[in-house]
Structures are given as structure tokens and as C-alpha cells.
Structure 1
Amino acid sequence: MQLDVPTALGPGRLTVAAAADPAAVLWLGHGAGGGIDAVDLAALAARLPERGITVVRYEQPWRVAGKRVAARPAALDAAWLETAPRVRELAGDLPLVVGGRSAGARVACRTSTAVDAAAVVCLAFPLHPPGSPEKSRFAELLEPTIPVLVLQGGRDTFGTASDVVSAVDARVGIRVVEVPGADHGMKVLKGSALGAGGVRDLVADTVTGFVLGLSTRP
């Protein structure tokens, strides 16, 4: 199901993969260089509904308009926040977990409190621009006051899983899971022990356990 949602920046679009008897809703945003069909986002939309999690993927207005250059962070946040009431209607009384890949993960972190999210899922969090570790965005990972899951590739030029683990430094509430051999797009080299299918399995299984496990946390 697709729903166009008006914002001050133009219409955004929600693509809903509904679970028959959902226990939670996972709302995901895309990155600056791609859309909702990215490997990890597509895997979650395909596999989580049958596990009891409704997945809602959001296309930012700039993407719906066919532009090639992403909007600035403030505009991304504004469109996300204007769309939040519609997502809340879809979720009803269910827990709402927010997240996304790359730039979408940053949006989810920055706005998690404003949308009253239960948790955050970050896929390929862009810890810093490639080759510029001094320009860290780590402070954004610290903004949520709720549980945060980070799935990060071992070859990600925006910050490897090891880089994120070092930055997090065992802070309570942030869990980092490495996707071995994966780059920023969650792609692995030919001959990788994990393989493309293994990446999809790892992403889907890890996010499922995290989201469904929220109800068992004290």
C-alpha cells in the first residue's frame, strides 16, 4: 500500500508492508544516494511482516519529485516530522520504532524524541564523510534516550563497525552489530563467506529480535 503525504516541502510517500497481526511498526527512511529499494530496507519490508512487524518505508519529498540531490538535514527532519502523525495513525497503540539507512538513520536519531519513538534502528550510520573522520556525526547517535541498534558494515567508508564500536565505547542503550565484509550499501565482495543472502538474513534477523525484544525489556 502506498500513501502520499503532503508536507511544506512537497508530497512524501509511505509504502506500507503490513503484518497480519502486528506487534510493532517499524518506520524507515532512505539514504541520500538511493531510495526505499536499498538492499537492507527491501529485506526488512519483505521479511518482517510475516514475523509480526509492519514495515513503513518513507520516501522524502525530494526523492518523490525525482530530484537527484538530497535536501538539507533540516528539510529532511521537517518532512519526517510533518509525516509522523500519519504514521502514528497507522501504528495506533502499537510501539513505533523509527530508523533508516545512512541519512535516514540520522533523521531518525535527531527526531526520535519528537515522534515519541520506542527505539531506533540505524542501518549503515554515516559516522563521518569518507576520508574525514574528524567530521564526526557521533553526537547524533547520542540524541535518542531510547534503545538504539546500529547495523554497520565491516568495510563501510563512512565508518566501519569497529569505528562505531570505538565511538560508542560501551555506552548503555546503544548496540552495534557488524555486517562482516559489507560496505556502506551493505554489499559484500564476491566470494564473501556471508554472501548477499547472508546479509539479508543477518539484517532481518537482528532487527526482528531487537524490535520484538523491546516488550521484554524492563
Structure 2
Amino acid sequence: MKPLQQVTKPPAKGPASGPHTVFRIDTGISAAKSRLILAHGAGAGITSSYMDQMASLLSERGIALTLFEFAYMSARREGGPKRPPPKAEKLIPEFRDMVSAVAAENPRQELFIGGKSMGGRVASMLADELYAEKAIGGLVCLGYPFHAPGTPDKLRIDHLTKLRCPALIVQGERDPFGNRSEIEKVRLSKKISFAWISDGDHDFGPRGNSGFTRKGNLAAAADAVAAFTAKH
């Protein structure tokens, strides 16, 4: 994957907090029809093993990518303390700022937004607004955090019940943040489709005796995302 880029700028929207460094990675051919803007999960940035592998697989399938880090994660790279992420709502302006920047740089590409776990949740909270503006073609969530592990009664789905933006949720069948048996009982928007990853955990990894492999599961996830972006 291409090296990190560093761009120092203030946030375009939301509370002013002074200049900050945005770390991002852009990959894929400029002639690609689609570009997927992906944010990371709560505890690991865009250079994690998971993000690196998924980016490579998606690039192989003809999707251009922009991976970026929220300011709290970027601060860690600059020597700041390892603090927990802000509430998801607080991160929406940063995501919107990145979409605006990427759209200006790539005016001929159809944009999609999404992310891993928390990053996908933030994207999902912004998706309808951007879709109504015709700024994006859809939403991709890789391991959506439907609830914290061990608390299946505290679902984070209010906005997903009325989502109007076409969406794909790629979810491990035994994800502790929302497994298949739990989520298939929940009524969500008909705009949401699922790709269930066989025996997958939150990173799509299967158990050793399942008959499935991590490599195969990641490839299946990338295939599902490629099919979704091609459709929309």
C-alpha cells in the first residue's frame, strides 16, 4: 500500500480546534469508476494489518481508495496520549470534510463512504445527508458495531432503521459486536444488504476448525464490496 500522506489544516466544519494533521492513503488507478473513502476502527489506524489487507484486495478489484484517520488517531502518531475516541457524532464533521476534499480531487469518480467498525458507524450517520446531495452512491460498513460486546440489548441502530442510502454491511457470522443470529432478528431499512462472512469474527477471522480461512474470508468480503459498488 502507498505511504501515509500528511496534510495539516484546520477542520472545515465543527468546533475549531486549531490546525491538525490528517493522515491519509490514496491508492488505486485514477481511471477507476468508483472510489471508496474508508475510516478506521476505534483502536487502530489505517495502517493496521486488517486495513492494509482489505485495501489491497479492494484495489485488486478495481476500486480506488482513500483511507484516512480522525484527528484523535492522528494525534497518536504525533506523540500524543492514547486517548479513547470521541463520541461517534463528534467525528461526523471530520468525515464530511474528507468527503468534500476527495470529491474536489476526483470529480469524475463515483464516491462511496464507509469504514471499519466505528469508522463505518460514523459514515452511516452521515450517509443519508450525502446521498441526498448526490455526493455519494452508497455506504459500506466492514464489521458494524451494532452493540458493545456482551450488551446485545443496547443496539446502535436507530438511524439504520430509516436509512435511505443504499448500504452494504459486511459482517462476521459470529461477530461479538453483532452476530448473525442476533442481527437477523432486527428490523432495519430495506436499503441495507448484508454479506455474512462464514464463521467470521469482528475482523472476519474464522475458527481453526471451521473449514474456512482468514484469507478466503477477506477475499469474500472484498468481492461483496466490489459487487455492491458496481451495482450502485
Q: TM-score, normalised by structure 1?
A: 0.88
Q: In the aligned structure 1, how far is the partner of 2:180 from the partner of 2:106?
A: 31
Structure 1 equivalent of residue 196 of structure 2: 178
Instruction: Give, in angstroms, the shift of residue 162 of structure 1.
Output: 3.0
2:35 pairs with 25, 38, 46, which one? 25
Is 1:129 aligned with 2:140? Answer: no
Please list, as runs of the form range in 1=range in 2, the aligned pairs for 1:189-208 lying within 5 A after superposition. Answer: 189-208=207-226
| 1:46 Cα deviation after fit | 0.7
Aligned partners of 2:86, 2:51: CA distance in 1, in Å?
Answer: 20
2:97 aligns with 82
Q: Give me the whole-angstrom Cα distance separating, in 2, the residues matched to 1:143 and 1:76.
A: 21
Q: CA deviation at 1:71?
A: 2.1
Using the alignment, how far apart are the partners of 1:181 and 1:155 within structure 2?
6
Query: Counterparts of 2:187 and 2:66 in 1: how far apart (Å)?
Result: 28
CA contact (8 A) 1:154 1:180 kept: yes
What's the counterpart of residue 7 of structure 2? 4
Q: Answer yes or no: is 1:157 the counterpart of 2:208.
A: no
Query: How far apart, in 1, do the equivalents of 2:57 and 2:156 lie?
Result: 30
Q: 1:44 aligns with which of 41, 54, 66?
A: 54
Distance change in 2, residues 1:16/1:144 (3 Å): farther
Report the CA distance between 1:101 and its aligned residue: 1.2
- In the alignment, structure 1 segments of 5+ residues that lack a partner are none
Change (3 A) 1:78 1:165: same
C-alpha displacement at 1:127, in angstroms? 0.7
Distance across 1 between alignment mates of 2:171 and 2:58: 19
Contact conserved, 1:120 with 1:147, CA < 8 A, in 2? Answer: yes
1: CA distance between counterparts of 2:151 and 2:223?
32
Judging changes above 3 Å, is the alpha-carbon distance between structure 1 residues 145 and 3 closer, same or farther for their aligned structure 2 residues? Answer: farther
Measure the CA separation in 2 of the matches of 1:213 and 1:200.
Answer: 20
Q: Distance in 1 between matches of 2:181 and 2:107?
A: 37
Larger radius of gyration: 2
Q: Which moved more, 1:55-64 or 1:155-164?
A: 155-164
Paired residues, what number? 213
Distance 1:40 1:210 in 2: 20
Distance 1:201 1:79 in 2: 29
- Give the 3-state SS of the residue equivalent to 1:203 in structure 2: helix
Rounded to whole Å, the distance in 2 between the matches of 1:38 and 1:140 is 28
Unaligned runs of 5+ in 2: none
The change in CA–CA distance for 1:118 and 1:102 in structure 2 (over 3 A counts) is same
> What is the alpha-carbon distance in structure 1 between the residues aligned to residue 180 and residue 68 of structure 2?
25
Match for residue 94 of structure 1?
Answer: 109
